[in-house]
Amino acid sequence: MKNAAFFMGKALEFSSLSIGLSRPNPAVGAVVVRDGLIVGMGRTQIPGSAHAEVMALRDAGELADGADIYVTLEPCCHYGRTPPCTSAIINAKIKRVFYAHQDPNPVVRGNSRKILEDAGIEVFETVEACGGNNPEGVALFAEVERYFEAYDYYVRCKRTFVELKSAVTSNFKMANADKSPLKITGEAANAWNHRLRAISDAVLVGASTVLHDNPSLNVRLCNGNSPVRVVMANDTVLPCNRKIFSVLENVAEPLKNATQVIVFSACEQPELQTFAGHVEVVKLLGKTFCENWKQVIDTLSERGMHRLMVEPGAGLAANIFETGLWNRLDLWVSNFDAEGLVYPKIPECKLVSETKFGNDSLKVFENK
């Protein structure tokens, strides 16, 4: 008999396919379960369309009567662009509701549970909804919390959560963009990197990375939509023959014709006119990097992006650290020395965790 962790895990897995589609709304997944079988699945659609719960209930049809529903986020209970999901759940005669994460919106938080329970529906939330205080349930709940942390931050601060990911050797050297590539981390770290891309709205690199590493910046080692790719070009004129401007793998079908790359540039980008509609050039207006970095964050925040992943070179990392406008640093440290660029000094911050992955260690720092 499959347990709550299995069904909530399926809902979470399905939810990531709405990242990029649903913003500024959170990307939510839901499954309807009857007699131990999934009879309906749903995920959040574009703004103004159905939420995950409604899609799953539609998929289940009459089989929703007396069934359970597992939802990654607390169902909404108010009228916005759509009617409340609590009403749809009640009308479908759902017996039990499991939701993994409490909505940070004060209009919803806690109110949904009362509405559902007043209607005679049994409700389970947070770690209990993920399978309880056992290793499997606790691990899944932690994964859900990680998934929604950027949404929580966006609701509280109306700002995009900025998460940097870097890899260094044991003597704190990075790859030098002007020389041959330096492979620092192993496969486990690379898979982790792609999972972070899959839960991010956008991924940003500097112009040197685009020119010398020629990355695709799409999602390849896990399921999920590829994020919007962002380039901090500054004064560099970019050629049109870089992978970042043409790769469309793992881009959700409704987004195929939307902007896939945003280039923040202080100069004209004549070659990128080839990709009109697919690549957008935003003029940088500041006189300093800090002013321009703030413009980048303001622009992405206004577009409803919850999480920005940054994969910086040494220079870009140093500039971002100096601004103080970042939330987290995920620093991969390998077990060998090498020649390369020296990683910039990490500003005063809090080391919150350190985890070993084979020959690599992941150190996670939170900005104070």
Strands (E), the chain: 29-34, 37-43, 68-73, 96-101, 122-125, 161-168, 173-174, 202-206, 228-234, 261-265, 279-283, 307-310, 328-333, 341-342, 350-357, 360-366
Active site residue ranges: 53
Would residue 131 be called left, alpha or beta, if left means φ above 0 and alpha means ψ between -120 and 50 degrees? left
Burial class (CB in 10 A: 0-12, 13-18, 19+), 168: buried
Q: Which residues pair with 38 in a beta bridge?
A: 33
Of 119, 111, 114, the C-alpha closest to 89 is 119
Q: Which residue has the tokens 């206004």?
A: 302
- Give the span between the Cα atoms of 319 and 332, in whole angstroms: 19
State the amino acid at position 238 in one-letter form.
L
Rg of the chain taking only CA atoms, in angstroms: 22
Residues 6+ apart with CB under 8 A from 100: 8, 11, 12, 70, 71, 72, 73, 125, 126, 129, 130, 140, 141, 144
- Give the span between the Cα atoms of 351 and 364, in whole angstroms: 6
- Give the span between the Cα atoms of 329 and 312, in whole angstroms: 11
CB 343 within 8 Å of CB 166:
yes
Q: H-helix or E-strand containing 287?
A: none
Of 123, 99, 310, the C-alpha closest to 204 is 310
